[in-house]
């Protein structure tokens, strides 16, 4: 009764506490208005790119991001709250083309690999190798996390794809920090909603099923990363690319803090803008004077599996008493017994 009167007679509503808010907006500094304008500009640009890709055969649009880590096992027993658990990682890639609009989830546990540029780059390479994309132009959006998405090694991935003629043009754009609102974020929200329905989750297989069923209209495709992680940090040397910090006019490039839009249309160089405005002039950075090579990334070395520390292994083993069969399967799948020896 109270809610009904409050909402209908006073035209007011009940709000929920916000989470994962923007630190710049929360601080309320003098730069907030400019920050919000840049966020709105990026949001409009992202919507425009998505719409173009849905209507044009020649454009593919993707967003990619790491989801918050998922605990394995996920247990309701109170003791599990105080014990270290194995983390499941998920790199979500959302693809929009004229013929497709779906999420591609790539999952692995922390004993297989970490979550840096090697992992992101390896999964992007595997994604473009496995998914049939016929468009000549790729528009990619990701956040500005320097350790994962916005760095020289991911730039080399784009250079490699151009050299292999996978695309004629690749654009990589970054929304304003704290205001991403990407397609991948919406995919992750649906996963988290599905996960909350389960009191206990014991295995990677369980998570695989939950992720695959988190959407019904366009069923996500879930891939186990397995042994596909390679040393992407070796790619610059193989391709003959140098990490150059100045543009062709001699100006320093604040790649991490200022660049918002990258465009690659020929091997050995890239162009960039510091806004998402069509009116801003492109600036160019030369990475190599060499011609594009036909290097095959299969020569990149496979990365060794991560070793879990002894304290985490001990905590995972304590959970055997809670649900022995399922937790033992985790121990076997991660070779935890071997790591302790």
| Of residues 36 and 213, more confidently modeled | 213
Q: How far is CA 205 from the centre of its chain?
A: 21
Residue 144, C-beta contacts closer than 8 angstroms, at least 6 positions apart: 150, 174, 177, 256
Phi (first) and psi of residue 295, to 5 degrees: -60, 135
- pLDDT exceeds cutoff 50 at 321: yes
Q: Where are the domains of the chain?
A: 33-304
Q: For residues 112 and 330, which has the higher predicted lDDT (pLDDT)?
A: 112
* Dmax (CA) of the chain: 74
Asked if the model's pLDDT at residue 27 lies above 80, the reply is: no
**pLDDT for residue 341 is more than 50:** no
Average pLDDT, the chain: 84
Q: Give the model's confidence band at 122: pLDDT under 50 very low, under 70 low, under 90 confident, else very high.
A: very high
Digit-coded pLDDT (tens) for 223-269: 999 888 888 999 999 899 999 999 999 999 999 889 999 999 999 99
Are the beta carbons of 194 and 73 closer than 8 angstroms?
no
Model confidence at 332: pLDDT above 60: no
**In this predicted structure, what is the pLDDT of residue 299?**
59
User: What pLDDT does 302 receive?
Assistant: 74
């Amino acid at each position: 009764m109270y809610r009904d009167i409050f909402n209908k007679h006073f035209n007011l509503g009940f709000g929920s506490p916000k989470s994962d808010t923007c630190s710049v907006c929360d601080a309320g500094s003098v730069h907030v208005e400019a920050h919000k304008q840049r966020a709105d500009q990026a949001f409009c640009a992202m919507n425009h790119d998505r719409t173009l890709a849905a209507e044009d055969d020649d454009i593919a649009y993707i967003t990619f991001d790491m989801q918050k880590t998922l605990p394995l096992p996920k247990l309701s027993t109170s003791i599990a709250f105080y014990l270290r658990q194995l983390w499941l990682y998920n790199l979500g890639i959302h693809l929009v083309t004229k013929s497709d609009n779906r999420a591609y989830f790539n999952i692995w546990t922390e004993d297989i690999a970490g979550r840096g540029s090697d992992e992101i780059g390896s999964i992007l390479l595997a994604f473009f190798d496995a998914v049939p994309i016929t468009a000549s132009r790729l528009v990619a959006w990701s956040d500005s996390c320097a350790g994962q998405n916005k760095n020289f090694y991911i730039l080399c991935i784009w250079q490699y794809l151009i050299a292999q003629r996978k695309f004629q043009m690749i654009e990589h754009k970054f929304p304003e920090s704290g205001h991403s609102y990407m397609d991948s974020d919406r995919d992750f929200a649906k996963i988290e909603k599905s996960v909350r329905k389960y009191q206990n989750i014991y295995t990677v297989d369980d998570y695989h099923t939950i992720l695959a069923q988190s959407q019904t209209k366009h069923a996500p495709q879930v891939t186990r990363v397995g042994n596909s992680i390679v040393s992407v940090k070796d790619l610059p040397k193989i391709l003959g690319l140098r990490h150059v910090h100045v543009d062709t006019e001699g100006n320093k490039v604040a790649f991490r803090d200022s660049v918002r839009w990258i465009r690659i249309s020929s091997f050995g160089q890239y162009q960039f803008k510091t806004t998402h405005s069509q009116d801003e002039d492109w600036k160019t950075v030369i990475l190599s004077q060499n011609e594009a090579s036909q290097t095959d990334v299969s020569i990149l070395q496979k990365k060794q599996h991560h070793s879990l520390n002894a304290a985490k292994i001990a905590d995972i083993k304590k959970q055997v008493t809670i649900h022995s069969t399922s937790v033992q399967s985790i121990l076997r799948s991660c070779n935890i017994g071997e790591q302790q020896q």
